[in-house]
A and B are shown apart, each in its own frame.
Chain A
């Protein structure tokens, strides 16, 4: 999210799956699309049928690879090297789409001379403070920019960063949307273009081959395919998923693709873009209307304890004077009206002062650690199974066992609800049922067929589903549960005089209900989310209509318009074959404002004409922007519009700058702020790796979150440290089509359970021979955290690679299994550590190290003893000569 947000303006896929049929070349990387998005994958197949190249770059040959025109095997955790190699290939050979790059990206912008690159500083960017463990991004800025002056603010720069940055996308402080210093010739040594060139110059094809394990020819073929299929007449697309995000440097993986797509001019164009594949049916919705601690609906930031003071300061800190974020205040106020109705007024600053604030990372893994320290009393789990899905499952389960109370809402009794009697820790004796204080409430949930509601899928499409049957017995929908819970809490606090209960009292909580069980009306909620005029109740048709004076109410500004004219736009069900084009604008509703392809003004050249007839999408017809989709641009803003001095918000964006959410209207090759780990992606090794960083002394992402003080999260020694040989193999986890995430919904259904009825590992014949594994037999896989067992699948689909002269073996693990339900088995994520990406706090389950031995694992106490013995051995060896991590001591702050 933050990568796409900072690069383009919105934290979401830039395109939609149906558009992939128009691609001339699709690179699927960090994704196993055929297996995990099988229905969306039909559009990739369509492209292939039309003659497109479909390239799958992945450590494993999967069902996606089987459909691809080319598969390139790489080492898990080496994607930035590969992608950087492509960027270098383009830059060194002048193969970029010149006109696009010059006008639509920030390539010409000159960067402040305080900037120093990782190439200059041996793997760190300028501004690294080892005491704080973070960067100072004021040293990365555009030349001539004013830094955001606001006393008492925690962060400098233009956007909130760290905890508040749900998706980035800003860059404020620009006078009239144009950076003060730029070189349209792209020659100035400190212009972004030249910085990029220097930054990537060591990412040669040979470097890629050495680091990733593919051959030079394979790599060059991919680079060539992209280059030949980009430009005016042809477009290429990137498709990625958690194979990229689940890394300690995950955000930079996606940034790498964003850079390539900008250089090749593929963003905002049909058949182009970066298709971020989010997996769960409504995972996009779960960040749009967030279940995350640090953002509010529409990616507005949660206020922080430090700084802001009053609403004005808060708004200023978060508003970009230019670009559509310039209307931040309107979005904010409208949200407050939705929450608190008449209680939020201009006089009380829309209750800003009363709002709860965050003061630090409160994400999942932080919470687990708080649980372990006994600081969390109660926990509610809804539609998730962290006992299986979280990295280092033991830490989570031990944490759950420290709660006073736990509520689990799900369709079946999942491992997270049954941990107190059947978790691996019960078997090992680390937990004893009678001694666990946690009171567990299992509240059965209604399925999607038993309630009205919407899903927001990976391409920002809100699709409505109607209830088909009433839920049985005590099963209830989420909406019912939280609505009635809220009502009861409100009732209990109704007479309270405690100030801190006021917000609950002020909550506007009066949705109509129906049916015997008093199900709240989902459509009423949707209508509020879409927004209406506060006084009249008249539905608004989009976020441009939102005001900051309380006259509008809107639960989520990016969804504004989904209930336009009082009609549930998300419930439209006209099939695409009955519509004008494949864009199918009359099926459901995509945010923002039913735009399917974002930044689509970029499908036309700076003058507003399509780059080519073959790739026309949206264009200027002399009076307005028109075409196959809602233009992602002000309808009547001419291509030659030049913003006057002092122009604000969207009026500060020129007519030839398509990225309207960005302060300078351009896509960002170089991201001056908004990301924790650097303005440019650079290759870092995974937190646990059998390889040292070939480029720098800085081995891994300096900013990655680690838990060095947590006994429960020990790490394997890494390359260069004695003891690494105990965990010599690369291990990666993944999904299978047949199961769903942590298995609650699939291991409990016999039709799915029988399709993949056992936990297994995938190993090459060579690795099997080395370790002594037999196909169909058992293997025990272990790390410093834990050990699991799995059936052995010996296959050529996960071949050993030659990396830096050494044969590298990889072990593949599906992660669906837990101890109960129709098919049970050990959980792969129990092996994983809790080192995280610093921007989004996502665990690195895609690349780590492990050891393997034949046979089943020890049971009971013997399991923990087995794990501890190996770990102690590894650690004592390491302690003889531990590898220093430079980020702990080196500073790159200017003296």
Chain B
């Protein structure tokens, strides 16, 4: 029977979802992680270079480049028609964050891999420098556009968090890049990376909190089901990892490696948590209907046109 109750209770069509869950699979949240890692690593690498920390610069360069190889592979794998991946670059379209992102990834990935190869081969330094600049330029967009991508949908827990998500993804990306570098660097060279990781985790925590405050009821999905578990894992891993890095990462290589790995794992969990939260909020019609019905009742809506002289039948109908 239809779940139709009158008198202000939420109504739906047999409890079925109003919008569709995304069709994306695991590759996408992993990509959020690797893409964020790339984007942040490009900036980290160039900054390290500018600040004379060649070891960090090189490590970050290679990490970013590797992530930039994995990223497109993940995205292509998720496609329904992978052989048509190149269709992503048929157009340039600002209303499509995915399209803009494809270009960003293309440019950042192309540049970072060019730079990495040239670094490895030790040739064409000016070209390598150019490539590093390009990569760093597109790094911040790469790390943050994915927040826009998920927010630019009808998925309630993503769209309603559109203010926070790019910042959140950026902070997570920064933390990932820093933490990853910590894994592969001696602690005496890893200072900025360490600071970046810890700072990123702290910023992320604050942003998650801000997001929850804004989200209201729909935010509860972050405490339920898979999203809930992953949120918890993200917090625990990233938090513990950051603590480890902060307290022991300077002195102990092992602590640095463990801490760095934990932060990375935590960030991966964070991406998955956001991902799953989206699905959960799409699945239950109340998250779509509730806020909209409330908004409609409060402000009126042009989505429906009631008869004029709406007292009587039409009013009885609602």
- Chain A interfacial positions (CB closer than 8 Å to B): 775, 794-795
Shortest CB distance A76–B (Å):
24
Q: Does B1 sit within 8 A of A, measured CB to CB?
A: yes
Give every chain B residue within 8 A of A794 (Cβ-Cβ): 1
Give the distance in Å from the alpha carbon of A794 to the alpha carbon of B1 in the complex: 8
Give every chain B residue within 8 A of A775 (Cβ-Cβ): 1
A-B contact count (CB 8 A): 3
Give the distance in Å from the alpha carbon of A775 to the alpha carbon of B1 in the complex: 9
Which B residue's beta carbon lies closest to that of A795? B1
Mark out the residues of chain B between 97 and 139 whose CB falls within 8 Å of any chain A CB in the assembled complex.
Answer: none
Give every chain A residue within 8 A of B1 (Cβ-Cβ): 775, 794-795
Which B residue's beta carbon lies closest to that of A796? B1
Main SS at interface, chain A:
loop
- Interface residues on chain B, number (Cβ under 8 Å): 1
Main SS at interface, chain B:
loop
Which B residue's beta carbon lies closest to that of A793? B1
Shortest CB distance A56–B (Å):
22
Q: List 3 A-B contacts (CB under 8 A).
A: A775-B1, A794-B1, A795-B1
Shortest CB distance A774–B (Å):
12
Give every chain B residue within 8 A of A795 (Cβ-Cβ): 1
Shortest CB distance B14–A (Å):
11
Mark out the residues of chain B between 1 and 19 whose CB falls within 8 Å of any chain A CB in the assembled complex.
Answer: 1
Q: Contact mask B168-201 → A, CB, 8 Å, 1/0?
A: 0000000000000000000000000000000000
Shortest CB distance A91–B (Å):
39
Mark out the residues of chain B between 138 and 175 whose CB falls within 8 Å of any chain A CB in the assembled complex.
Answer: none
Shortest CB distance A680–B (Å):
45
Give the distance in Å from the alpha carbon of A308 to the alpha carbon of B1 in the complex: 63
Give the distance in Å from the alpha carbon of A610 to the alpha carbon of B1 in the complex: 52
Shortest CB distance B2–A (Å):
11
Which B residue's beta carbon lies closest to that of A794? B1
Shortest CB distance A767–B (Å):
15
Which B residue's beta carbon lies closest to that of A775? B1
Which B residue's beta carbon lies closest to that of A765? B1
Shortest CB distance A765–B (Å):
9
Shortest CB distance B301–A (Å):
28
Give the distance in Å from the alpha carbon of A794 to the alpha carbon of B2 in the complex: 12
Q: Contact mask B1-44 → A, CB, 8 Å, 1/0?
A: 10000000000000000000000000000000000000000000
A-B residue pairs, 3 tightest by C-beta: A775-B1, A794-B1, A795-B1
Shortest CB distance B24–A (Å):
27
Shortest CB distance A283–B (Å):
36
Give the distance in Å from the alpha carbon of A711 to the alpha carbon of B1 in the complex: 42
Shortest CB distance B176–A (Å):
47
Give the distance in Å from the alpha carbon of A679 to the alpha carbon of B1 in the complex: 47
Give the distance in Å from the alpha carbon of A795 to the alpha carbon of B1 in the complex: 8
Shortest CB distance B15–A (Å):
13
Give the distance in Å from the alpha carbon of A795 to the alpha carbon of B2 in the complex: 11
Give the distance in Å from the alpha carbon of A779 to the alpha carbon of B103 in the complex: 59
Q: Contact mask B242-269 → A, CB, 8 Å, 1/0?
A: 0000000000000000000000000000
Shortest CB distance B198–A (Å):
54
Shortest CB distance B165–A (Å):
39
Shortest CB distance A138–B (Å):
58
Give the distance in Å from the alpha carbon of A300 to the alpha carbon of B1 in the complex: 52
